[in-house]
Amino acid sequence: MTETGLNLTPLHALHLELGARMVPFAGYEMPVQYPMGVMKEHLHTRTRAGLFDVSHMGQVILRGPDAALALERLVPVALAELLEGRQRYALFTNQDGGILDDLMVANRGDHLLLVVNAACKQADLAHMQAGLPELQVQPVTDRALLALQGPGAEVALAALIPGVAAMRFMDVATPEWRGQELWVSRSGYTGEDGFEISVPEAQVMDFARALLAQEGVAPIGLGARDSLRLEAGLCLYGHDIDTATTPVEAGLTWAIQKARRTGGAREGGFPGEAVILRQMAEGPARRRVGLRPEGRAPMRGGTVLWDAPEGGTHVGTVTSGGYGPSVESPVAMGYLPAEKASPGTPVWGELRGRRLPVTVCELPFRPSTYKR
């Protein structure tokens, strides 16, 4: 921990050695960029391979009888059918249908492994301990977490762990490296093929250096991580989704399998079921949309959206926005009334007292390249 009370990841010294600019993020001191700069880091990940330190994320093990079925009490996702060696995206919801956090759940045979957001991990632990009293809720405190993303990720990781080349999107595995078990998933937060790798703290410095020694692998900071996930249309908790946003409004109903929907084998049974299932049947009043501002000026989160260039009505707000290096234009996401959420609909974003035209568009801005 720093003098300012920020936590440090096990790779903190490596970030400084590599010339990273460090910033506070979710209670940690994290690298926002390296000397390459955000734009080049973004494009490097899209064309080669980027290594991200995501050790600030929470890793949690759930153990107990029928742990997957028990966890369904807290999420609108079907987990009982999740096969061993597979992972699934999930959402903790509240009684109003709002999202407490989004997370990944992996079936590792005799237990589940969850990866939760850094800013939410303590609240998530308390939520699970209260809602799943029959299960052991065990935070993982002795491992770091890396993400290796981009078209060169498979070759780079396979040079150290040959078996990973056979993995497909959302597979999980536990290979060894230098006698230590790694927890590997083929997933990520960039829209690119890649892996997330949980590594024992004592070994992570050597492992990170071994990856960075592979041809085409470069360290990537939080700045490019944000622009990469934005181009991929992926939500950032606390911005695009939060306790006042339902999965239906956020366009995340693809994560709610048939078994948990109306008429399904295990219909409902999760917090906020009445609101979420009703919105799935009737449609929500607002929807998350992609937004393409005209010109070169990015529209950041918090930009107010209007239905007319002058006068008119405030109809929504940008939740995430910036410049998309791969698409070479500003991109943004936000919420609009359902009647204004169709692609091609014009709205206006207010920047420094001026209203500039914005067009609603499909998400993502750039197709994902997961290895199916």
Rounded average pLDDT over 334-358 = 97
Share of the chain above pLDDT 70, in %: 99
Secondary structure (3-state) at 134: coil
The domains of the chain are located at: 12-58+141-231, 285-372
Q: CA 219, CA 7: separation in Å to the nearest integer? A: 20
Sequence-separated (6 or more) residues with CB below 8 Å from residue 103: 89, 90, 91, 92, 114, 115, 116, 117, 124
Task: Please report, for residues 31, 143, 148, 231, 327, the alpha-carbon distance to residue 227 in angstroms, rounded to integers and kept in the order given.
Answer: 15, 27, 16, 6, 11
Residues 76-108: tens digit of each pLDDT: 999 999 999 999 999 999 999 999 999 999 999
pLDDT tier at 250 (50, 70, 90 boundaries)?
Answer: very high
The answer regarding whether domain 12-58+141-231 maps to CATH 3.30.1360.120 reads yes
DSSP string over 188-229: -SSSSSEEEEEEEHHHHHHHHHHHHTSTTEEE--HHHHHHHH
Q: What is the value of pTM for the model shown?
A: 0.96
On the question of a common fold for 12-58+141-231 and 285-372, the answer reads no
What burial letters (b/e) apply to 8-33, b meaning 16+ CB within 10 Å? Answer: bbbbbebbeebebebeeebebbbbbb
- At the fourth CATH level, which superfamily is domain 285-372? Aminomethyltransferase beta-barrel domains (2.40.30.110)
